[in-house]
Amino acid sequence: MASTVAAVPTLYACFFAYADPLIALYGAYLNFLAPEQAVASMAPQSMYDPATVFLFHQAGGLALAVAVMSALVPRVSEDLAVWKVLQFSLLLSDAGGLSGVYFALERQGRLEPRLWSADDRAVGGLYLFITAVRLAFVLGVGFGGAGEVRRGDKRR
């Protein structure tokens, strides 16, 4: 039996429908068209190896899928269970991304915050923020208050 349609706070609806897809599209751009920039931003002591392009294309494909799902699910479904399954699944991907940030820093001896570059702070901070928003949504933080998108409300 399908779960009931629930009110989704506007913050989540906007983040998942607009910000998340744009962030994911940037990730796809980096992986497909600028892998050297992707490597240099998180592992400045490393060099992009064209022999590993297949890994970047796989990551780029995942980023495109995230962008499409994030953009479309909030527009086509008002079923809270569908939203939560999607966001929980993307939370798993975020965990992989955060581990990648950690291991990039660890491998290059840059775990101390004073050694972080602006790119380290930006990438790591963005991953932490996205992960926190997804986790809060999955846990139901912020539901039940004012400023929600309700069934039939086209503000999404």
What pLDDT is stored for residue 156 in this prediction?
43
- Write down the pLDDT at residue 9: 87
The tens place of each residue's pLDDT in the chain, 156 residues long, gives: 455 445 788 899 899 999 999 999 999 999 999 999 999 888 888 899 999 999 999 999 999 999 999 999 988 988 888 999 999 999 999 999 999 999 999 999 999 999 999 998 999 999 999 999 999 999 999 987 544 455 554 444
Answer for the pair 88, 13: CB distance below 8 angstroms, yes or no: no
- Cα gap 49→23, rounded to integer Å: 24
Q: What is the pLDDT of residue 145?
A: 53
Report in angstroms the alpha-carbon separations of 43 from 99, 103, 122: 14, 10, 13
- Nearest Cα neighbor of 29 from 52, 51, 69, 61 is 61
At 44 the pLDDT is 85
Does pTM surpass 0.85?
A: no
Residue-level pLDDT at 147: 47
